[in-house]
Amino acid sequence: MTKIIFYMSEGYNILGSGMFKGEKTKVFWRGLIIFGLAITVLFTVFWYVFVLDYGYYISWRWWTPVIFGGAVFLLIGLYMMIAGVEKRETQRANPP
């Protein structure tokens, strides 16, 4: 636990890649909204199919387009989030 707090206090990225480091543009925030809506749709499908279990009344035939659309919008939102980050240029301590 103390190792995690140390990493957070030192500014390390716990997830690793640093994919979203930089200035966030409007494209990033719109992609985040699309990503969040897609996650909500896919969670709703999971909830209705596996938790509530209405039997044959709710079949996969009705959920297939919703699952496919949710997955497509999930990928679109993720791509927009990645493309919507402008990398900052780092200045060197000793320029050539």
Q: What is the pLDDT of residue 31?
A: 92
Q: What is the pTM of this model?
A: 0.67
pLDDT tens digits for range 17-41 = 567 777 888 998 899 999 999 999 9
Q: Which comes out higher in pLDDT, residue 45 or 59?
A: 45
Name the band, by pLDDT with cuts 50, 70 and 90, for residue 46. confident
pLDDT tens digits for range 52-79 = 877 666 677 788 899 999 999 999 999 9
Burial class for 81, CB neighbours closer than 10 Å (0-12, 13-18, 19+): buried
Task: Tell me which amino acid residue 49 is.
Answer: V
Task: Tell me which amino acid residue 55 is.
Answer: G
Q: Supply 13's token pair.
A: 């990225």
